[in-house]
Amino acid sequence: MISSDKIFGIFFFFQICIGLMGNSLLFILYMYIFLILPHKKKPTDVILIHLTFANTLTLVFRGVPNILLSFGISPKMGDIGCKAVIYIQRVTRSISLYTTSLQSTFQAVTITLSNSKWVWLKIKFSTFIQPSLLFSWIINMVIYSEIILRNVANRNITDARSGYSAAYCKTDAPHHHIVATFLSAIFTRDLFHLSLMTCSSIYMVNILFRHRKTAQHVRSTIQSSQGSPEIKAINFILMLVSCFVFFYWTNTFLTVYLFSVSGNNWKLESFGNYIASCYPSICPFLLMKNENRISRINYIKTRIRIFSF
């Protein structure tokens, strides 16, 4: 009979494979647009490339160690490998949060009405994207440098200490106030980005509903309101933000709990990693579903194939 750990490993394996496939397809799409169809480039493509890259790293460095552990294989990383895995997990998690927040904010600026006081951001915002993304990578790498100093390989999984501990890695936390200060700073930063993302999404929903009301009198009564582009855009925004908020905060609460307890709970830690990998796995498919350039590219390929005969 298959154990529960192996069943969990199988689910984790399929989640990682699906997520890597989705992020790879999305990355190929943007590379195809950049190289073959440069006139179809959008400012948000840079944001989504960073998001795709962060998602891929998250899936690899969270998924592979947990898949091995689920099948009874203990990865021998050593101190350097342990530091690298935990460090990349934390940095890419923060980059995923920042890029999603930046994308939501940029979309809100893009659909801003012409008579709004924020209309000047339409022109200048795109010039801030690349520097802000670079700054985000740098600042998060600096913030999580504490992990490099305090993480060591877990050579004895029965050795439970205060602080976060995994089956292959552990974090020594001799002073409780250091952990509390660090978690408070991370929580404040996360809350800021999530609040910005939520406010941007609410603003976009408000703009789109107002636009729908003003455009109703020119639409045919035969056309269903459920199929209108405004309703589709609203549904996409709410679905993307809701998925991110749910999975992000669920993983955050589990991480805080694991920091606060002294015992080892490998299954709960693995479940937290599984939850943290859900959004990177789902995100590319949500983006591709809303990416109208995919249908245009398929249309162009079909036309070329027809005229080639």
pLDDT digits (tens, 9 = 90+) for 172-209: 655 667 767 777 888 888 889 989 888 888 887 787 77
Question: 105-114, 126-135, 212-221, 251-260: which has the highest mean pLDDT?
Answer: 126-135
Q: Quickly state the pLDDT bin for 307 (edges 50, 70, 90).
A: very low
H-helix or E-strand containing 188?
A: helix 176-215
Q: Using CA atoms, how far apart are residues 9 and 273, in angstroms rounded to an integer?
A: 12
Q: Using CA atoms, how far apart are residues 98 and 94, in angstroms rounded to an integer?
A: 6
Give me the count of residues in the chain. 309
- The rounded Cα 211 to chain-centroid distance in angstroms is 29
Across the chain, the runs of DSSP E, i.e. the strands, are 151-153, 169-171
Residues 259-267: contacts with CB under 8 Å, at least 24 apart: 259/163, 259/164, 259/173, 259/179, 259/183, 262/160, 262/161, 262/162, 263/160, 264/157, 264/158, 264/160, 264/165, 264/167, 266/69, 266/157, 266/166, 266/167, 267/5, 267/8
Domain topology for 4-308: Rhopdopsin 7-helix transmembrane proteins (1.20.1070)
Cβ atoms of 30 and 48 within 8 Å: the answer is yes
Nearest to 193 by CA among 145, 247, 248, 142: 248
Q: Using CA atoms, how far apart are residues 122 and 6, in angstroms rounded to an integer?
A: 51
Q: Who contacts 109 (Cβ-Cβ below 8 Å, separation ≥6)?
A: 118, 121, 122, 125
pLDDT digits (tens, 9 = 90+) for 41-93: 777 788 888 989 999 999 998 888 888 877 777 767 777 878 888 889 889 98
Query: pLDDT value at position 303?
Result: 45
Query: pLDDT value at position 162?
Result: 45
Mean pLDDT for the stretch of residues 213-239: 60
pLDDT digits (tens, 9 = 90+) for 132-164: 999 999 999 998 887 777 776 666 555 544 445
Average pLDDT, the chain: 76
Cβ atoms of 27 and 287 within 8 Å: the answer is no
Q: Using CA atoms, how far apart are residues 160 and 262, in angstroms rounded to an integer?
A: 6
Other CB atoms within 10 A of residue 113 CB = 10
Q: What are the extents of the domains in the chain?
A: 4-308
Q: Using CA atoms, how far apart are residues 74 and 61, in angstroms rounded to an integer?
A: 15
Nearest to 98 by CA among 145, 53, 132: 132
pTM metric for this prediction: 0.80
Looking at per-residue pLDDT, the higher value among 80 and 117 belongs to 80
Q: Using CA atoms, how far apart are residues 94 and 16, in angstroms rounded to an integer?
A: 19
Nearest to 245 by CA among 112, 35, 101: 101
b/e string for 90-108 if b means 16 or more Cβ within 10 A? Answer: bbbbbbbbbbbbbbbbbbb
Nearest to 256 by CA among 269, 266, 243: 269
